[in-house]
Amino acid sequence: MKKYLYTAEQRQALNIVWNAAGRYDYNPPFVAYNPHGVPEFYLNFVVGLSDKWFNTEKLFDFFESYAGTAHQKVFDNITWLALENSLYEKELPHRPALKIMRENHALGFFREESTMSRQEWMAKNNLLYSLLSERWASVLGRKGPVLSPREKGLAKRLKAGGGLSTDGILDLMRAILKDYFLFSRFKGLPNALKFHFKGKLADLLARFASAEIVRTDTLEIRSSQGKPGGSSSGRNFSKRRKSESKNEMEACFGRSLYSPTEQAVLEHSLCTDGDSGRHLWFARGVPDSRSAKTPDAKAIAVNAEKQYQKNRSYYAAYSGRNSSTIRHLKAQITGALSQHAEPVPIASRSGRLSAGRVWRGTVLHSSCVFERRMTEPQPDFSVLLLLDASASRLESQEVIASQAYMISESLRLCRIPVEVDAFRSLRGFTVFQILKSYREGNSLGVFRYFSSGWNRDGLALKAAGVRLKASGTGSRILLVLTDASPNDAEPVSPYGNRPLPLDYSGSAGIEETAREIKALRSKNVQASAIFLGEDSEAKNAEKIYSGNFVRIHRSDEISKAVGRLLKDNISSLY
């Protein structure tokens, strides 16, 4: 799964670009930050204006035509200097504030200059820095730096006029690069000859200008926990050894929540039909490497601990935006709750006459003999958030943990009992890990989420039924965070009119899961899903949840999507 995630700063930079471009589906090739990592307002605005006034595709092609060359960074900045002047002249008649925005940027440039250390001065590219200095000094009507005649000529040519078309400005830039940098290989170099600026070299190049426009290829932040698919340790673990050992489960996931007798009763009632011969393990504990008795258990515990730290760091990195999501989601849930709140009679000086209080009028001369009906949200339902923790989620563990935490916290803050459980299948066991129970006063346990093994969704849903009952509330909502792609190494056991076992994948897995969703709904559980999968799996989600699901492409969509889902679910309860 490929996700586009942005920090608050990146998103702010994009918003400035989109605002200037006048459209929100524009994917800019550049964004600009100041040396402190704060979005550079004016330069990002110029990037957006380039989409408004020029042919974006032609600009993209031009930037690509020298990408990967040794001078890419300098060429980028010089091109933007030319674009800036032309765009300024084009936009100014339509936007009087642009003059002040430009002057403020120029002032910022010189302010930054005055705080630079000698090392920073030395790291500057003299030519580019002189050109920038000359440009911003002229904007402020100040005396610029001393330039050589050649530099003066270049600076003059970079003041591209507002009357230029896209072709006009690109012709100008090609001529400038040819005349001043002897560069004419605009088709780009073969891949083998290209090199990319990374690490320290990239940092060094980034210091060329005090505020700089940078290519956006760093905006896509992927989870780096390994490739999706079957090469994970969890799956190998499952495939290597299939002895159905409860001791092994206990070593890996801690003691079961239920006594051996209760466990046997549960398995007897739930591991039936296609799941007969399979086992369940309800774990409360956290894998602990110090007490792990087997190498496999130790490996799982070590990985789980590492993932816990990663989940927390990931959440902390986006904490501003995440807190905002929690606030929005909480507001949506509160809104939905208030619509269905039950009225409570309250003594009042006007309203409906209360027979039980009439005596107070005559005996106590009190006018408080009426009652009004006030409405207070008093939710009598619980939510179970079920997380698919199979190895197919390896690439997005931090994202899932963050999303689950936000959902859980929003519900908790609305005083709705919420439990968060993760499920995975290993060696014939479907392990149900309780990350946050109904009673817990915070959702930090959700960061213990990690993925490994397979996902036998049907059996997990049967087990979810047990946990739903444990909530003790009148009504229950089940939300499954899933890719709607059930997959287990253990087959669907023969039952009914199926004489042979079937692979627990594809249509068989979907059928088993859809059946369990139907069974839960027949028990008045509001079951729906938050779908995180690919386009190709959307039809599976449709089949399993009969349309009762929302799809999330980006983590910042969670507030709206889950809010809507919960609103619908809460409405159906009343």
Partner 1 sequence: MLDFLSEEKVSKFIIDGIKEYRQKYPAEEALNSRIVRPRYPYYGHEVWEEAASAVLSGANLLLTGPKATGKNVLAENLAYVFGRPVWNISFHINIDASYLIGTDTFDGEKVVFRPGPVYQCARCGGFGVLDEINMAKNEALVVLHEILDYRHTIDIPGYDSIKVNPATRFIATMNYGYAGTRELNEALTSRFVVISMPQISMENLQKLLQHTFPSLKKKWIQQFALLFDDLRRKAEASEVSERAVDLRGLMDAIRLMQNGLSAGEALNMGITNKSFDPYERNLIRDVIKARIPQNLENQYFFE
- DSSP three-state, residue 320: helix
Residues forming a β-bridge with 526 = 477
Tokens of 539: 């039809």
| 406 is a site residue for partner 1 (CB under 8 A) | no
The residue among 267 and 371 lying less far from partner 1, judged by its C-beta, is 371
Q: Which residues of 269-306 are buried (b: 16+ CB within 10 A; e: fewer)?
A: ebbebbbeebbbbbbebebeeeebeeebbbbbbebbbe
Segment interacting with partner 1 (CB under 8 A) among 120-128, 327-335, 388-396, 474-482: 327-335
The pairing of beta strand 525-531 with beta strand 549-551: parallel
Counted residue by residue, the chain has a size of: 574
| 41 is a site residue for partner 1 (CB under 8 A) | yes
User: In the set 161, 226, 229, 320, which binds partner 1 (CB under 8 A)?
Assistant: 320
Contact code string over 1-20 relative to partner 1, x by CB under 8 A: -------x--xx--xx-xxx
Q: In the range 522-541, which residues lie near partner 1 by CB under 8 A?
A: none
Tokens of 293: 């008795």
Segment interacting with partner 1 (CB under 8 A) among 91-99, 118-126, 141-149, 478-486: 91-99
d(CA 309, CA 331): 29
- DSSP three-state, residue 341: coil
Task: Give me the least distance between CB of 330 and partner 1, in Å please.
Answer: 11
CB of 46 within 8 A of CB of 53? no
Q: What is the DSSP string of 428-479?
A: TEEEEEEEE-TT-S--GGGGG----SBB-HHHHHHHHHHHHHTT--SEEEEE
The residue among 32 and 283 lying less far from partner 1, judged by its C-beta, is 32
| 327 is a site residue for partner 1 (CB under 8 A) | yes
d(CA 480, CA 466): 15
| 324 is a site residue for partner 1 (CB under 8 A) | yes
Q: Which of 92, 342, 73 is nearest to 196 (CA)?
A: 73
| 139 is a site residue for partner 1 (CB under 8 A) | no
- DSSP three-state, residue 424: strand
Tokens of 43: 């330069």
Task: Give me the least distance between CB of 411 and partner 1, in Å please.
Answer: 17
> How many residues bind to partner 1 according to rule CB under 8 A?
42
The residue among 97 and 500 lying less far from partner 1, judged by its C-beta, is 97
The residue among 213 and 270 lying less far from partner 1, judged by its C-beta, is 213
The residue among 148 and 339 lying less far from partner 1, judged by its C-beta, is 339
Task: Give me the least distance between CB of 314 and partner 1, in Å please.
Answer: 18
d(CA 315, CA 399): 8
d(CA 453, CA 239): 9
| 364 is a site residue for partner 1 (CB under 8 A) | no
The residue among 11 and 159 lying less far from partner 1, judged by its C-beta, is 11
Residues forming a β-bridge with 482 = 531
| 369 is a site residue for partner 1 (CB under 8 A) | yes
| 95 is a site residue for partner 1 (CB under 8 A) | yes
User: In the set 68, 361, 491, 494, which binds partner 1 (CB under 8 A)?
Assistant: 361
| 338 is a site residue for partner 1 (CB under 8 A) | yes
| 350 is a site residue for partner 1 (CB under 8 A) | yes
Task: Give me the least distance between CB of 141 and partner 1, in Å please.
Answer: 18
Q: Who contacts 250 (Cβ-Cβ below 8 Å, separation ≥6)?
A: 256
| 373 is a site residue for partner 1 (CB under 8 A) | yes
Q: Who contacts 316 (Cβ-Cβ below 8 Å, separation ≥6)?
A: none
Task: Give me the least distance between CB of 206 and partner 1, in Å please.
Answer: 23
Distance of CA 119 to the CA centre of its chain: 38
Task: Give me the least distance between CB of 298 and partner 1, in Å please.
Answer: 42
| 199 is a site residue for partner 1 (CB under 8 A) | no
| 355 is a site residue for partner 1 (CB under 8 A) | no
| 343 is a site residue for partner 1 (CB under 8 A) | yes
Task: Give me the least distance between CB of 30 and partner 1, in Å please.
Answer: 17
The residue among 28 and 254 lying less far from partner 1, judged by its C-beta, is 28
Contact code string over 47-86 relative to partner 1, x by CB under 8 A: ----------------------------------------
d(CA 485, CA 503): 13
d(CA 220, CA 2): 9
| Cα end-to-end span (Å), the chain | 37
The residue among 292 and 341 lying less far from partner 1, judged by its C-beta, is 341
| 339 is a site residue for partner 1 (CB under 8 A) | yes
SS (H, E, C) 77-143: HHHHHHHHHHHHHHHHHHCCHHHHHHHHHHHHHHHHHHCCCHHHHHHCCHHHHHHHHHHHHHHHCCC
Task: Give me the least distance between CB of 219 and partner 1, in Å please.
Answer: 16
Contact code string over 441-480 relative to partner 1, x by CB under 8 A: ----------------------------------------
Query: Residues 149, 151, 153, CA angle at the centre, nearest 5°?
Result: 70
Task: Give me the least distance between CB of 36 and partner 1, in Å please.
Answer: 15
User: In the set 1, 137, 331, 573, which binds partner 1 (CB under 8 A)?
Assistant: 331
Residues binding partner 1 (CB under 8 A): 8, 11-12, 15-16, 18-20, 22, 24, 41, 45, 95-97, 100-101, 320-321, 324, 327-328, 331-332, 335, 338-339, 341, 343, 349-353, 361, 367, 369-370, 373-375, 560
